[in-house]
Amino acid sequence: MVRATFREGVTRRRFTAEEFERIAETGIFDVDPRIELLDGELLEMAPIGAPHVLCVMRLTNIFPPKLAGRALISVQSSFRLTDSSEPQPDLIIIRNRDYGNALPRAEDVLLVIEVSDTSLRYDRDDKLPRYAAAGIPEVWIADVARKQLTAYRSPSPDGYRQVLTLTRHATISPLAFPDIELRWEDIFGKV
C-alpha cells in the first residue's frame, strides 16, 4: 500500500495490482461501472456508446478465426501492466499459453486495441505512454468519432517511435501477425 499526500489533511490511497485483484474477487465492485487500476489509482471508465460497441463487435468477429491456435483474444478484460496498473483495454491479443489463475502480463501482450469514443485523450495521453514504457509492442487506438485508426509501434520509455494512421480504404496488419490484413471498413464499417 502506498499513501501520498493529496491536499493538506487528505491522504490519497494507492493500490497495488495484487490488492486490486483481491478487492475485485470479493465482489465489492458492481459489474457496472467498469473500473481499472492505473498507477495505483482506481479509475471509473467512461460509459460505452453504440459506435464504441459496434467497433468492438467488428474487431471481435475479425480476429478469432484468423488467430485460432496462434494467440488468445481478451475482450474488455484487465491485464497486469505493472505492479500498480491493470488497464482494461477493449481488446488484447496475447501469447497462446496457459495462464493458470494469473492475469496475462505486459510481456505476454502482442497487441492492445483501445476503442475511443469519449475517452480518446485518456487512452492516448494517459494509457499509451504507460503501454510504451512497459514495452507493449503495438497499440491501436480506434477513434470512432473521427473514424481513424492510429497504430503505435516501436515502444521506448519515452513513447512510441513509430505512428501510423489508417485512412479510408487503407489496410493494416498487426506486427505479430503480418499475414492478417484488416481494412479500414473492417474496423469502422461501411460509411
pLDDT 10s digit of each residue in the chain, 191 long?
444 444 555 556 677 777 776 766 676 665 455 788 888 887 788 778 899 999 999 999 999 999 999 999 999 899 999 999 999 999 999 999 999 999 999 999 999 999 998 889 999 999 999 999 999 999 999 999 999 999 999 999 999 999 999 989 899 999 999 999 999 999 999 86
Can you give the length of the chain in residues?
Answer: 191
SS (H, E, C) the chain: CEEEEEECCEEEEECCHHHHHHHHHCCCCCCCCCEEEECCEEEECCCCCHHHHHHHHHHHHHHHHHHCCCEEEEECCCCECECCEECCCCEEEEECCCCCCCCCEHHHEEEEEEEECCCHHHHHHHHHHHHHHCCCCEEEEEECCCCEEEEEEEEECCEEEEEEEECCCCEECCCCCCCCCEEHHHHHCCC
Q: What ranges do the domains of the chain cover? A: 48-188
pLDDT given for residue 9 in this prediction: 52
pLDDT given for residue 2 in this prediction: 45
CATH class of 48-188: alpha beta
